[in-house]
Structure 1
Amino acid sequence: MINLSPRNPDIWLAAGVRTPFAKVDGPLGGFDAIALSVPVVKHMVGLLQGGKPDFAVWGNVVPNLTWSNIAREILMDAGIDPTVPAYSTVMACSTSMMGVFEAAGVIDGTARNLALVGGVDSLSRIQLGLGTSLSDWVRRFQNARSLGQKLSHAFDLKLHDVRLYIPAVSNRTTGMSMGEHTEITAKEWKISREDQDQIALESHRNAIAAWDRGFFDDLVIPFGELHRDTIPRKDTSLEKLARLPPSFDRTSGNGTLTAGNSSPLSDGASSIWVASDAGLARLPSATPRVKLIDWEIASVDFRIEGLLMAPPYAIPRLLQRNSLNYEDIHLWEIHEAFAAQVLAHIKALQSPEFIRGKVHITGDFGAFPRDRMNPNGGSVALGHPFGATGARILSQAVKQLSTMPSGQRAIVSICADGGQGTVALLQAASST
C-alpha cells in the first residue's frame, strides 16, 4: 500500500464527468478509446480557472498497437497544453482508481497540486494482432534486401504460423474468464441464483431512480446523440431475470451467473480530479469534493482463492488501521463485476472465520449495512468499461458523500482480474 505521509497535503477528490456507458457494439461502437476520452478531457479542462491541470493519469485495459501512452495521445488530440505531463496506468478493473492513488502520491501541494485522472475502454474496437511466429516472419520479410531473399522467406512461411491473436476476456494464467472464476466462487460461498438476481434488480432500480431524479445530470456529458446510459432497464423484474439461462456454466445444471446478474461488456470513458487544497481552489466551487483519507491494495493467489476476492482482505485492513467498523461507514460503493462476487464479499466480511483465519485480523467489525450499498446503481446496471469503472465509481461516491454531513465516510471497493483489488476510504469535509 502507498501511504499518505504526514508531510503530504490533504488530498481531495472532486467529481469528474463521463460519457454515457453502452453495451459493446452498441451506440458507442464506432469510437475507439481515444475518441471516447477526448470530449471528457475537453470538458474537464474547460472547467479550470487555472487553465490546465498540473499532470494527467489515464488508464486503458484493452491494448491497442497504435499507441503506447494513451494518456499523452488523448491530451494531444484534445488540444490540451502540450507542457502538461501525462502517463498511462493499468490494473484491470481497478485501473482508474489506481490512477487516483498514483496521482495522490505525486501531488505535493506546491508545484503539483491538481491532477486529471481517468480511464476508458472501447470493447467494440478491439484490435486483433498477429501471432508471434507470423509477426517474426513479417519482420524478416520486410528486412529482406533482395527479391530472392524475399522469395526465400515467403517459402519459409508455414500454414500453422498463420495465426491471429484475438484478445479475450480471460485470465492468462488459468485460461478462464472472470465469469467462469466467479461461478466457482459462487459455489464455494453458496451464493444462490435468487440472491444474485435480487442484487441485479436493486442495481437497475437504483440506477433508473438516480437518472430520473437528476443525480447523473452533472456527472454524464452527452456523446453524439447519446445523453444517458443505455444499459439500465426500467422494465426488469425478478421474474424476467429468473428466466435467463446461465452464461458461464451451461453444462453442470448448477450455473447461476447470467447476463442479467453480471456486468455487461461496455464502452465508455470517465474522469475525476485529485487535488491538494491549492488545486481544489482552481475548480468551480460547485464541484462536489470529499477527502481521500486512506487506501489499501490487496492481492491473492487466485489459483487457490477466488479471482475477485481481494477486496474482503483489503477492507478489514483499511478499517482496522483507521479504528473503524462497518457501521462507521455511511456509504458503500462496491463494484458489481457480478452480483455473485458482491454477495461473496459481504459473506466474507461478515465471517469471523474468514477475518481471523485468512485476513489475520482479530476483532468484530459488526454487521454489514446492505442498505447503504450502491444507492445510485452499480456496474451490473450502469455498465463496466474496464478502465473507466474506477473513476465512475469514485465520482459517483464523491457526489453522494458530499451531500452528507461533514465527517461521514464512504468505502469504495473494486475487484480486479489477477486476484487484485483496491479500496478507498473517503470522508465528507468542508473545504476552506
Structure 2
Amino acid sequence: MAGAYIIDAVRTAVGRRGGRLAGEHPADLGAAVLTALVERTGIDPAEVDDVIFGCLDQLGTQSANVARTCWLAAGLPETVPGVTIDRQCGSSQQAVHFAAQGVLSGTQDLVIAGGVQSMSTVPMQASWQTAEVPDPFSGSTGWRARFGDEEITQFHGAELIAEKWGLERRRLEEFALESHRRAAAAVDSGRFAAQIVAVGGVTADEGPRRDTSLEKMATLQPLRPGGRITAAVASQLSDGASAMLIASEDAVRRYGLKPRARIRALTVVGDDPVLMLTGPIPATRKVLDRAGLGLADVDLFEVNEAFAPVVLAWQAETGGSPERTNVNGGAIALGHPLGATGVRIMTDLLSELERRDARFGLQTMCEGGGLANATVIERL
C-alpha cells in the first residue's frame, strides 16, 4: 500500500518554563531526539533526505535555522540538510505534513519531522519585542483597512470563543482539572515512558499539577477584567523537542523498516483571524472528507489544548466524543513547547492507538493567524 509511513517517534519530557530543562540549549534538546530516533530506527543517517523542524520566535539560540543546528549538534552527517518552519503552534505538525508530501511526491524517501522550543531561553513573542512594535499587524495599512483596530491575540480569541459558545469560567476550569487528572494517570501508568528521551536526567513531564483543584483555580485572576480566561485554563509555557521518521513505501522495503502507522490524510485551513483559534472545526471536517471517514470511524482525537474553550467549542460543533479526546491530558496539563507540540501530540496519539489496539487517530491544532492543521493517522 503506497503512502507515507511513520516509522518511529520520540520526544523529550516537557519541562516547565524555568524548570529542569531551562538550562538546555535548544540545539541540544533537538539533538537528543534526533540521536534517539536514528538509534531506534537503525537507519543510516546519511540516507535522510531532509530534517524539517518547527520553531517559533527564531532568534537568539533558536535562530540561524535551528533544525540544521540540532542535526549538527547531534554529530550527524553534514551532507543532510535541514530547514526550520513557523506555522505557529502547529509548526511540527506542519513539518510532518511537509515530510509526508515529500515522500508522497516521490522526490524523497526518508524525512525527519519534528520541532524544538525553549520558552525559558526565548520567551513567547520575543520576536515582537525585538522588532520594537506592539504587534506584527498595527503598521499595515492593508490590515487596518480590513480588520480595523480589532485586537489580534490568542487571549482575546479565547475570550471570544468562550463567549460565543456560552462557556462559563467554571466549565473551563472543570475541563482543565480533567486534563491534569488524565495526564497524572498517564504518567503513573507509564504510558509516556517509552516515548521520552532523557535530557539532563529529566524523564517525566513537569507540567501536571496533582494538587490543583476547582477551588484553587477559582482564586486566579482572569487575564482581563471580567474575563473567563485564567492561567489555569491555558496551555503552559514549556521547553521540549520531538522528532518522527517518515518513510516512503520503497524505503520501508529497501531498509527493512517496520512502520507503526501511515498518514491517511492531511490538511491545513484558514479561519477567522480574530477568533483565531476556531480552525480545528473546519479542519476536522475537511480532513475526514479527504480520508473518506466519518467521525464515528475515528478511535481517538487529539485537539491541542491551547485554551480550554478551543476544545470545548470543537466538541460542540463536531460532536467529537470527550471520552475519546485528549485521553492522556493535553497542553493545559502537559505543557506546550510551541514548535515541538505537534509531533509530541502525534507521538502520544500513535502510542495510545497501539495500546488500545485501535486503528484511526485524528489530530488537529489551532494556530496563530486563524489557521489549523489536521492529520488522520492509521495504525498498522
Give the TM bin, normalised by the shorter chain: 0.7 to 0.9
Confirm whether residue 398 of structure 1 aligns to residue 369 of structure 2.
no
Which of 56, 60, 76 aligns to 2:72? It is: 76
Amino acid aligned to 1:270: S
Q: CA deviation digits over 1:345-398, x for unaligned, max 9? A: 22222xxxxxxxxxxxxxxxxx43111011111111110011000010111111
Matches for 1:62-141 after TM superposition, within 5 Å: 62-65=57-60, 67-107=63-103, 112-126=108-122
Confirm whether residue 348 of structure 1 aligns to residue 317 of structure 2.
yes
Q: Which residue is equivalent to 2:42?
A: 49
Native 8 Å contact 2:197 2:203 kept in 1: yes
Q: TM-score when scaled to structure 1?
A: 0.78
Confirm whether residue 418 of structure 1 aligns to residue 358 of structure 2.
no
Whole-angstrom CA distance in 2 between matches of 1:215 and 1:51: 29
Confirm whether residue 25 of structure 1 aligns to residue 1 of structure 2.
no
Q: CA deviation digits over 1:263-303, x for unaligned, max 9? A: 01111111112122344464875xx7112110111102314
Shift in Å, 1:308: 0.6
Pair 194,284 (structure 1): closer, same or farther in 2 beyond 3 Å: farther
Native 8 Å contact 2:58 2:127 kept in 1: no
Confirm whether residue 329 of structure 1 aligns to residue 298 of structure 2.
yes
Native 8 Å contact 1:96 1:117 kept in 2: yes
Confirm whether residue 320 of structure 1 aligns to residue 296 of structure 2.
no
Native 8 Å contact 1:42 1:78 kept in 2: yes
How much is the aligned-residue C-alpha RMSD, in angstroms? 2.7
Q: Mark the structure with the bigger radius of gyration.
A: 1
Whole-angstrom CA distance in 1 between matches of 2:126 and 2:207: 33
Which of 157, 169, 174 aligns to 1:181? It is: 157
Native 8 Å contact 1:48 1:283 kept in 2: no
Whole-angstrom CA distance in 2 between matches of 1:211 and 1:130: 32
Matches for 1:265-280 after TM superposition, within 5 Å: 265-280=237-252
SS of the residue aligned with 1:423?
A: strand
Whole-angstrom CA distance in 1 between matches of 2:357 and 2:71: 36
Identity of aligned residues (%): 31
Matches for 1:203-282 after TM superposition, within 5 Å: 203-246=179-222, 248-249=223-224, 251=225, 253=226, 255-280=227-252, 282=255
Question: Structure 1 residues 95-104 or 223-232, which shifts more?
Answer: 223-232
How many residues align? The count is 365
Native 8 Å contact 2:21 2:239 kept in 1: yes
Amino acid aligned to 1:211: V
Shift in Å, 1:233: 1.3
Whole-angstrom CA distance in 1 between matches of 2:159 and 2:370: 15
Whole-angstrom CA distance in 2 between matches of 1:234 and 1:98: 32
Q: Which residue is equivalent to 2:4?
A: 11
Q: TM-score when scaled to structure 2?
A: 0.88
Shift in Å, 1:61: 0.7
Amino acid aligned to 2:365: I
Shift in Å, 1:45: 1.5
Native 8 Å contact 1:409 1:425 kept in 2: yes
Native 8 Å contact 1:15 1:398 kept in 2: no
